[in-house]
Structure 1
Amino acid sequence: MPQRPHRPLPLATPAGVEVLTRILTQGPIPRVEIARRTGLSQAAVTKAVAPLIEAGFVTDQPSTPIEAENQLGIGRPVSPLTVVANSVSVIGLKVTPTALIGVTTDFTAGIQTVRHQRLDDTSPDSVIERLSDLAKELISSLKTAGPLIGVGVAVSGDVDGRHGVVRDSPFMGWRDVPVAELLGKRLKVPVVVTNDVRALTVAEHWFGVGVDADSFAVVTIGSGIGCGLYINGEVVSGAYGVSGELGHLPLAPGKLVCTCGRRGCVETVASSDAILARTRETTGRADLDLAGAIELAHAGDKHAREAFNRAGEVIGSALAAMVNLVGPELVVIAGEGVAEYDLYEERMRQAFADHAFGAAGACRLMLRSHTFDNWARGAAATVIRSYVRGEPPLQR
């Protein structure tokens, strides 16, 4: 079993977890503001934060000369609370069929180190060995950083996060791979495994656009179409660990077979691979790559434009279906597929407007560029969340 984190957090009560979460995601923040947002008394906030300050996880000292000068004014100093970023370190790993991406972050998910490695063999044994080597390389870079609390791994597909098992990843060709167990044995540190889009959603919830949002969704467009949901104060995992599978809604022609083996999935029309396949088919250009298809579409080629328009229509309909069901106030559109966003945006927004019911049509659609480094950062963010909450395998 993975060993316990080197720095257990002094959080004995749910109030302590709530207070640290507020400081981490919304700091610098005064005690009085934490009390207002949580409903706790100021005395309860002070009691919860005292051991965190003593242990070096939180500080109420000004971090800049300007803050220090502001605290010397008339009246009692506010002394906002801030997480000590270098109090711990985290490693995040993103797995794709062609590459491994690794980052080290601090306690606020700020990226410190980045490593990219090409992947030629996607067999589970080979990938686990490569992940182990990459993680060890990143661990060796932590010489002056805070103690390592865990390693996060983000993989596409159906992931049982509680047990660290990738149940089904069509892109990787994996079924029932116990990633956390296999990697944990090699590294001797806690390993958290999660669906990659859900990891990205956790990062946006704790450290991005979702910090002040009551509800939002992250939709990723690339080789696959993914969706992470933040509703009613929590990133949705679903009873079976599967939720937000926007790419597998049956909204495309039924004759088209998806990588998951089913027919009519959104991905069969709207993924980057599907757009390229359609453009090759209609133009007769089997030599085209995605960049070539994008160039043709920008040049006005009717066949390439048709492929992107068809994708936009299906994506917009899928977004409307999701928004009608769960009602988020914001949808963040991200992923490697946003490079060609301008080619299908108009058709996507029109389809969304056509199918969004009533006030759901007021949901904002926001474009947010992400690199694979951000996906790896999302894996690190899931470790930070588990660490603060005391979730397996980082129980306090």
Structure 2
Amino acid sequence: MSGAEESALGESTSVGSAVPDLGGATARAVYRDLLRFGPRSRRDLGERLGLSAPTVTRATRELLEAGHLRPLDTVSPARGRPQQPLDVEVEHGPRFVGAKVTADAVHAVVTTVHGEPIEDLVVPLEGTTPEAVADGVAAPVRELLGRHERVAGVGASIGGVVGERRRVDSSWILGWEEPVPLADLLEQRLDLPVAVDNDIAAMVHGLNWGGIGRAHRTFAVLTIGVGVAIATVVEGRLLEGRSHLAGLTGRLPVGTTADGEPLLFWQAARTAAVVERAREHGVLGAGEGIDRLRELVVRDREPGALAEAEELARLLARAASAVVAVVDPEAVVLGGETMDLVRAAGGVFEDTLRAALPAAQRDLVLRELGEDFDQWARGAAVIAIQEYVGGEW
């Protein structure tokens, strides 16, 4: 065993008395690999991680003794010695709580270490000041903590610019223009490690760790609703960019304004813009909003309203085609509160998208997120899991 390996095994970071510590960097690397990529033998772990056999043996022994891993049945390969795969202990393993914050509610969920939901909870948000949001997140989290043991960490996701998974630098949804140390505020209330991230980044981390990321190493996510966002995962890693804003600002051109200026994705596809266009075209009255448009499109199939839905579908397709042109993903995932309007437009989105792609990319896989916020809350839990296991994501 090298000196570096020995030192790594000796490092330790406490996560609270209720959950046994994972140990040093080597043990964390072993645990992280099994968590992300599934069961494997000690020999396979050593080859994948570049560790000596004694180092892997020692790390896995410590993890087994602490209850973090469990042995599976021995496998006898066609050649070579029988191997006993190891896997992460899920049933008796740590739990994590994720909380997705919107302008008027907190969607919370408790999950396994794989990010699988166990119980969820939705509570109204009474205010949008930093203290009110911290209290609003802490309330459902405390309720879940009272019903679930072995919680090792909490993740919170919020629409805004987030720095170092600790502070929210700004959030237009909540009206925050100055940095807010949200992780600190929550840790004071919960006495648990807390990680904070942008909501779509957290959601995409969740997809990458336990959802579509298991089938596709490179994929893009586009969401439309009150805000819009684009995120891409390339070879298993979320692209964040120098300012951690890659795609999150929605500044991709999707057309031209009446003045000849570029029409940006966020300007054209967010809910407020959809409603404004519908009012300008006489589809909606002055006091009517997105719910009324939804009735006209989905229930009544009113021609003018359907035209608005078709335009939204085309705007989304233009944004998606631009992402595909740059990233060449295996799949595109769509989501957001106004996806029902896109679905109501029939095949407009898919036809527009595939027509804009070269033949080699037209077999692109299209997926859609669920309509509720469960996926977003699970993503918030996943960022807590990532902080718990450490390392690169």
Tell me if TM exceeds 0.5. Answer: yes
Query: What is the CA RMSD across the aligned residues, in angstroms?
Result: 3.0
Q: Which residue of 1 aligns with 2:349?
A: 348
The residue that corresponds to 2:271 in the other structure is 272
1:131 paired residue number: 137
Match of 1:179 in 2: 182
Moved more, 51-60 or 124-133: 124-133
Indicate the residue corresponding to 1:385 in structure 2.
Answer: 386
Partners of 1:104 and 1:111 within 8 A in 2: yes
**Pair 92,40 (structure 1): closer, same or farther in 2 beyond 3 Å:** same
| CA shift digits 1:106-156 (9 cap, x unpaired) | 2121222222111242222211122223322222222xx32x222101001
In structure 1, the residue corresponding to 2:162 is in which secondary structure? strand
Q: Which moved further from structure 2: 323-332 or 340-349?
A: 340-349
Q: State how far apart, in whole Å, the 1-side matches of 2:54 and 2:180 are.
A: 47
167 and 246 in structure 1: CA distance in 2 versus 1, 3 angstrom threshold:
closer
Q: Please give the residue correspondences for 1:204-219 in structure 2 after superposition, counting only pairs within 5 Å.
A: 204-219=207-222
* 1:109 is aligned to 2:120: no
Q: SS of the residue aligned with 1:199?
A: helix
Following TM superposition, by how much is the alpha carbon of 1:229 offset from its aligned partner in structure 2, in angstroms? 1.8
Percent identity of equivalent pairs: 30
Structure 2 match to 1:295: 295
1:84 shift after superposition = 1.2
Distance 1:40 1:382, change over 3 A: same
SS in 2 for 1:104: strand
Asked whether the 8 Å contact 2:279–2:285 carries over to 1, the reply is yes
Among residues 83, 91, 106, which one is paired with 2:88 in the alignment? 83
The structure-2 alpha-carbon separation of the partners of 1:166 and 1:254, relative to structure 1 and needing over 3 Å to count, comes to farther
Give deviations 1:197-232, integer Å, cap 9, x for gaps.
Answer: 111111111111102422112222222222222113
SS of equivalent to 1:229: strand
What is residue 330 of structure 1 aligned with on the other side? 331
Q: Aligned AA for 2:144? A: L
Which consecutive unaligned segments of at least 5 residues does structure 2 have?
1-12
CA distance in 2: counterparts of 1:78 and 1:4, whole angstroms? 32
TM-score under structure 2 normalisation? Answer: 0.83
Counterparts of 1:151-230 in structure 2, within 5 Å, are: 151-160=154-163, 162=164, 164-175=166-177, 176-230=179-233
Measure, in 2, the Cα distance between the counterparts of 1:48 and 1:215.
31
8 A contact 2:254–2:262 mirrored in 1: no
Give the deviation of 1:77 after TM superposition: 6.2
2:309 is matched with 308
3-state SS of 2:30 partner: helix
Residues 189/77 of structure 1: CA separation in 2 closer, same or farther (3 Å cut) = same
Unaligned runs of 5+ in 1: 63-67, 257-261, 392-396
Q: 1:269 to 1:31 in 2, by over 3 A?
A: same
C-alpha displacement of 1:308: 1.1
Q: 1:43 to 1:185 in 2, by over 3 A?
A: same
User: Which residue of structure 2 lines up, in the alignment, with residue 119 of structure 1?
Assistant: 125
Q: Determine if contact 1:270/1:312 at 8 Å carries over to the other structure.
A: no
Q: Distance in 1 between matches of 2:25 and 2:131?
A: 39
TM-score, length-scaled by structure 1: 0.82
Q: Give, in angstroms, the shift of residue 314 of structure 1.
A: 1.2
2:100 to 82, 89, 94: 94
1:160-193 deviation per Cα after TM superposition (whole angstroms, max 9, x unaligned): 1x15121222111112222112222222221101
Answer yes or no: is the 8 Å Cα contact 1:269–1:310 preserved in 2.
no
Q: Is the 8 A contact 2:218 2:330 kept in 1?
A: yes
Q: CA deviation at 1:358?
A: 6.4
Asked if the contact 1:312/1:347 (under 8 Å) is kept, the reply is yes
Hey, what's the Cα distance between the residues in 2 that align with 1:370 and 1:11? Answer: 40
> Given that residues 213 and 236 in structure 2 are in contact (C-alpha distance below 8 angstroms), is that contact kept between their aligned partners in structure 1?
no
Provide the rounded CA distance (Å) in 1 between the counterparts of 2:208 and 2:145.
Answer: 26
- The whole-number CA distance in structure 2 between the counterparts of 1:90 and 1:182 is 18
2:191 and 2:203 map into 1 onto residues whose CA distance is 25
How many correspondences in the alignment?
369
CA pair 177-200 structure 1, distance change in 2 beyond 3 A: same
